[in-house]
Structure 1
C-alpha cells in the first residue's frame, strides 16, 4: 500500500470541509495516509515523514509552498507530489487537466501515474510552479486580494480591470535567452508562464506547457488608457496575443530589469524589484496526473 503525506489547507478558498474530507476518505481507502496542516512548519512535517510522497489538498499557493520546501530540502526529485485542487483559482490543476471533484482528483493520485514537470528558479532563491508576472498583473492581484472573500473568482477580473486602466507602466528591459524582447520601453505587464492561466482561468500564456523545457514570455506595452483597457478585456478572453503592442517569445532563461516593479509568483506578491532572472529546470519534479496529458492549447490571436 502506498504511503502518503497529506498536507491539508483548511483555509483554501474554493472548497469547504466536506470536500476536504471526501478527498481524504478516498485517499485513506487506497493508501496509508498521514495528515498534517498546511502552514509555516512544512520543513518539520516533511522531516517527520521521510520518503513519503506528498499530496497537497489546497490551492496553487499551497502547492507552491510544498514544492518550494521540497526543493529547499533537496527532496523534490525523490518525492512525487499529488494535488487535490481546493483553492479559489486552481490554475495549475487546470493546466494539467486534473478533475475539479475532490474525490476524482484523489483517485488520480492513487492511480499512480507520475508526470515530470518543469520548474522555474530565480536568482533570489525563489521558485515558480505555474506563472510569474510583473507589473499590472501583480497590481491586479493586490487589488483582488481583499475582494476574494466576497467575490471569489470574480475578484480577479475586477482587480485586473482596475489595475489595467490605472497603471502607467514601468520602463523595463526584458530578454529571453539573451534575445531582447523589450528595450527599456514603458511596459504594462511581463508574464512568464510555465502553466497557462492565472487568477482562476485567465489565459495569461495560452500556448505554454508545464513540461516542455521552456517558458512562454508575454510583454505588453502601454500606450494609453483605452489601449490598457482593451488589453485587460482581451487578456480575460485569451486573445491578447493578437494586439499590436504585445510581443512574445519562448526560452529557458528570462531576465527583467529597470524600474522597481511588483512581482507575483504563483499568487505570492513580492517586490518591487529592479532586476530578476528566472531559469527553467526541465523535468525537475513529478506530479500525479492523468496518464495522458491534456491536449496542447491552441494559439489565439
Structure 2
C-alpha cells in the first residue's frame, strides 16, 4: 500500500503517526510518502502502481487525496484507507464514517476492514465534496479559500502552517523524490517546504511588501483597493442577524428559493453522511445517490428540506463552505451526486 502522511499530522501528533505507520509496516508491504504540495501529491498518486492509497491525516487530507484521484480518474480503482490524526473538529467526517480515532485500531481497520461504497458530490468546476456544503460559509476555526485549482490556508490554522494545508501547500516547488519518500519511515523528513507562500492577501489583510510610501503609488493604491473589496465583498460570511442573501436555489430543476426573497442559509449534505453531528436521525446509510437540501429564510419558522441529485445555486457573489473549506466568491455553482463513486475501508 501507499501511505500518504499529511505534514500537518506529523506536527500535530507525530506519535500517533509513528504508531500507525509501524502497525502498517509490520503487516504489509508499505511505501511511505509525505507530499508537501499539490504537485507532489499528484505525482505520488499517479505513480503508485498497484498500491492501495492510505491517508494518515485529518478530513482535509482525505478530501485532497480523493480530489486528486478524482482528477486522475483513478478514484474507482482502489478503496481508500484512512487513519485520522487531528483535533476532534478536524476529524468529524472520519468519525461520522465510523473510522476509529485510535491509531492502532484505525491501522487494523485499514489492514482487515471491508470496503464501503460512498457517494460523492462533484461541482461544475471539478471540485469534490465528501460531506456537506454551507452557503454562506460559516467561517470555521480553520478555513481555506480555493481558487484556480490551488488550495490556500486563509485563517492562521492552529497547526501554524500558514499557507500550507493538510496534504499539500497552495504554492511550493517540488523537491527531489528522495526528499519526500522513505520506504523505512518519514520521521527524518523535513516537515514543510521553505517555499510556502504567505496567505495574508487571501486572509483579507493588507500587507505592504516595501516602504509605506509604496502604498501611494498607482500599483499600491490598486492593491489596497482590491484587498478592501475582498474584505467587504457580499456573501463571504454569514453575520448574526443579517437579512440573508438573495439567491436562486434549484433542486433537480425545482425552484426552492428565488432572488426576490432573501435566504439565510442553504445547506447540502450527502445522504450517506446523516451521522455527521448536527443531523436529526443520526444514522449512516448505504450510498443512495441523493443529498439533503435545506433552505432557511429569515421569515420562516421552519427550514425547507428536500432530497435531490442536483443542486444549483446562483445570485450575487457568494461564498460557500465545502468540507470545512471556504471557497468563492462565485456567481453560480452546481453540485451533482455521483452514486457510489468511491470506496472507503471501514471496520468489518
Q: Is it true that 1:284 corresponds to 2:281 in the alignment?
A: no
Aligned 8 A contact 1:7 1:56 in 2: yes
Matching residue of 2:134: 133
Question: Is this contact kept in 2: 1:193–1:204, CA < 8 A?
Answer: no
Alignment TM-score, normalising by the size of structure 1: 0.76
1:170 matched to 2:245? yes
- The aligned counterpart of 1:189 is 265
Q: Deviations over 1:233-275 (max 9, x none)?
A: xxxxxxxxxx824111111111111121111211222111111
Q: Structure 2 CA distance, aligned partners of 1:202 and 1:275?
A: 27
Match of residue 307 from structure 2: 250
Please identify, of 85-94 and 204-213, the stretch whose mean Cα deviation from structure 2 is larger.
204-213
d(CA) in 2 for partners of 1:146 and 1:202?
26
The list of structure 1 runs, each at least 4 consecutive aligned residues, that deviate by more than 6 angstroms after superposition, is: none
Identify the residue that residue 76 of structure 1 maps to in structure 2.
75
Query: Which of residues 313, 318, 323 is equivalent to 1:266?
Result: 323
* CA distance, structure 2, for counterparts of residue 141 and residue 217 of structure 1: 24
1:99-131 per-residue CA deviation (whole Å, 9 max, x = no partner) reads 110111111110141111111111111111111
2:307 and 2:284 map into 1 onto residues whose CA distance is 9
Mapping 1:210-249, distance limit 5 Å: 211-223=287-299, 244-249=301-306
Structure 2 vs 1, CA of residues 60 and 142 (structure 1 numbering), >3 Å: closer, same or farther? closer
- Bigger fraction of residues in strand: 1
RMSD over equivalenced CA pairs, Å: 2.8
Match status 1:117 vs 2:118: yes
Alignment partners' CA distance in 2, 1:270 and 1:206: 27
| 1:142-184: CA deviation from partner (whole Å, max 9, x where unpaired) | 599447459xxxxxxxxxxx94526442111111111222222
210 and 276 in structure 1: CA distance in 2 versus 1, 3 angstrom threshold: farther
Q: Is the 8 A contact 2:13 2:86 kept in 1?
A: no
> Equivalent residue for 1:63?
62
Give the Cα–Cα distance (whole angstroms) in 2 for the partners of residues 106 and 43 of structure 1.
24
Partner in structure 2 of residue 8 of structure 1? 5
Q: Using a 3 Å threshold, how does the CA distance of structure 1 residues 212 and 262 change in structure 2: closer, same or farther? A: same
| In 2: Cα distance, 1:121 partner to 1:173 partner | 19
The structural deviation recorded for 1:138 is: 4.7
Name stretches of at least 5 consecutive residues in structure 2 with no aligned partner.
145-153, 161-236
Larger radius of gyration: 2
SS in structure 2 of the partner of residue 80 of structure 1 = coil
Give the secondary-structure state (helix, strand or coil) at the position aligned to 1:42. helix
**In 2, Cα distance between the equivalents of 1:85 and 1:208?**
19
Equivalence for 1:25: 22
Could you tell me whether the CA contact under 8 Å between 1:191 and 1:204 is conserved in 2?
no
Deviations 1:44-68 (A, max 9, x none): 1012221211111111111111001
CA deviations on 1:56-85 (whole Å, 9 max, x unpaired) are 111111111100111111111102101111
Task: Provide Cα deviations, 1:197-221, integer angstroms capped at 9, x if missing partner.
Answer: 77xx454996675722111111222
Residues matched between the structures, number: 256
Contact map agreement 1:119 1:281 (CA 8 A) in 2: yes
